[in-house]
Amino acid sequence: MSSTPTSGKILLVDDEPDILEILEYNLTREGYEVFTASNGEEGLKRAEAVEPDLIVLDIMMPIMDGVEVCRQLRAKPKFKNTIITFLTAREEDYSQIAALDNGGDDYITKPIRPRVLLSRIKALLRRNERSESQEEVTSISIGDLVIDLEQVVVRRGKETIELAKKEFDLLTLLASKPGKVFSRDEIFNRVWGTDVIVGNRTIDVHIRKLREKLGEHYIKTIKGIGYKFVF
């Protein structure tokens, strides 16, 4: 009799059968309930059916690429907080930035090392569990902004501003102590976790997206150190 998976559901979407096979094998051994899809369109349907805790998306796929899959998933309320990590070719900066721009939480470069992937997945899931357990504060109000921690949205007057999960986490951190300068290392550790390795441009991409959605004046760059929230 097989043991009941306790670590969560993971959806793997990749058009390379060998990659799907080795990742499914390694993740299943760790106790995850694993589902697979071989193209983006199939991945969307599979996600709707199983509602996974984490999705691993290859970027370059037939029918529908991973970035478009992510964009469509993030447009659905039930996938707003689902963890999405991408598989990208090494040094493929454009794809990595596009992945983060469209709601991705992280990316992993190919060739894939199963142990590295497992470590990243465990770290992402742990980080998500910690975020969900912090329920004592339900909102942060600063000036004309209200950051609703329960509904994971930002409101400015009657306007609702939709943010990707990591954008929201980053804004919440900065707004938790207005005027405090958060170093890049502190932001990495508290938003992505100490055991998650992300690209050097990750923070910059998320800050840029926040400024596009909120306005330039809320987040100030402190050259050579990091960022702070101002109002």
Render pLDDT for 1-49 as a digit per residue (tens, 0 to 9). Answer: 344 444 689 999 999 999 999 999 999 999 999 999 999 999 999 999 9
How many CB atoms are located within 10 Å of the residue 102 CB?
Answer: 20
Residue 129 sits in the same domain as residue 178: no
Lay out the sheet containing 145-148: strands in order across.
Answer: 139-142, 145-148, 153-156, 159-161
Question: What span, in angstroms and rounded, lies between the C-alpha atoms of 107 and 121?
Answer: 11
Quick one: what percent of the chain has pLDDT higher than 90?
40
| Stretch 76-96: mean pLDDT | 80
Q: What is the CATH number of the domain that holds 84?
A: 3.40.50.2300
Question: What span, in angstroms and rounded, lies between the C-alpha atoms of 18 and 214?
Answer: 43
Q: 35 with 56: CB under 8 angstroms? A: no
Give the structural domain span for 218: 139-229
Task: Report the candidate in 112, 114, 93, 38 with the shortest Cα–Cα distance to residue 69.
Answer: 38
| Residue 139 CB contacts under 8 Å (≥ 6 apart), including other chains | 146, 147, 148, 149, 150
- Domain assignment of residue 38, yes or no: yes
Q: What are the pLDDT digits (tens) for 159-188? A: 999 888 889 999 999 998 888 889 888 898
Q: What are the pLDDT digits (tens) for 128-167? A: 665 554 445 678 888 888 998 888 889 998 899 988 888 9
**Last-in-domain residue among 92, 107, 133:** 133
Beta bridge partners of 12: 36, 56
What's the structural domain count of the chain? Answer: 2
